[in-house]
Amino acid sequence: MFETLFAQMMASGALELIAVVLAIVYLLLVMREHIACWYAAFVSTAIFLYIFSDVKLYMESGLQVYYLAMAVYGWSRWRKGGGHSKDGKTLLISRWRLQQHVVALLLILVATASTTILLQTYTDAELPLLDSFTTWGAIVTTFMVARKILENWIYWLVIDAISIYLYVDRELYFTALLFAVYIVIIFFGWATWLRRYRNQPRSA
């Protein structure tokens, strides 16, 4: 069983593996609030754009286009920060109010329902509901990362857990393994950002 799984993973190609490694590098750098994370994100995203379109995950493919734009936005936002340094650490971590989370969740649910119907009606998309939910969830959460919103780690936990099933179903085993690693990193990321948030100046 394990030999078969390993063979299938290797057959999925070196390109996917490269994208996975860069994606892990991205998240580790995000955890450290290092601006280089956005370079790793851009290259990894470009590779995943090709991979997801090839397996008919159309919403995930569209998400990669958004990721490319957000990599540029995130880099610009972190670089400018407070206007004093380029290491990404001048933009302080902040939190959203309850009302902001409610709006974000409603946006995700409405957008998910809309695109699920469109995909079911007009395309041959696989798993359109999950594809839509993880895509819209990731769109909102990536914006939170770019703005250094603490709760982004909680959002990612839910999205990544669902994504594992999505990628296993599409036989993207390296990518499924990536998201399993993500879940582990998320706990460290949350703890790291929470500690830094608590140590920030009260005026922040």
89 — phi, psi (to 5°)? -100, 5
Q: What is residue 72's predicted lDDT score, i.e. its pLDDT?
A: 92
Q: Give residue 7's pLDDT.
A: 54
pLDDT digits (tens, 9 = 90+) for 78-133: 887 643 444 445 678 999 999 999 999 999 999 999 999 998 998 888 789 998 99
**Does residue 57 contact residue 131 with C-beta atoms inside 8 Å?**
yes
**Partners of 3 in beta bridges:** none
The structure's pTM equals 0.76
Predicted confidence at residue 202, as pLDDT, reads 61
**Confidence grade of residue 57 (pLDDT, cut at 50, 70, 90):** confident
DSSP the chain: -HHHHHHHHHHT-HHHHHHHHHHHHHHHHHHTT-TTHHHHHHHHHHHHHHHHHHTT-HHHHHHHHHHHHHHHHHHHHHHHTTSS-SSS-SS--B---HHHHHHHHHHHHHHHHHHHHHHHHH---SSHHHHHHHHHHHHHHHHHHHTTBTTHHHHHHHHHHHHHHHHHHTT-HHHHHHHHHHHHHHHHHHHHHHHHHHHS-TT-
pLDDT for position 177 = 87
Report the chain's mean pLDDT, rounded to a whole number: 85
Residue 6 has pLDDT above 90, yes or no: no
Q: Is the pLDDT of residue 63 over 70?
A: yes
The whole-number pLDDT of residue 2 equals 47
- Give me the mean pLDDT over the 168-176 stretch: 83
pLDDT of residue 13: 67
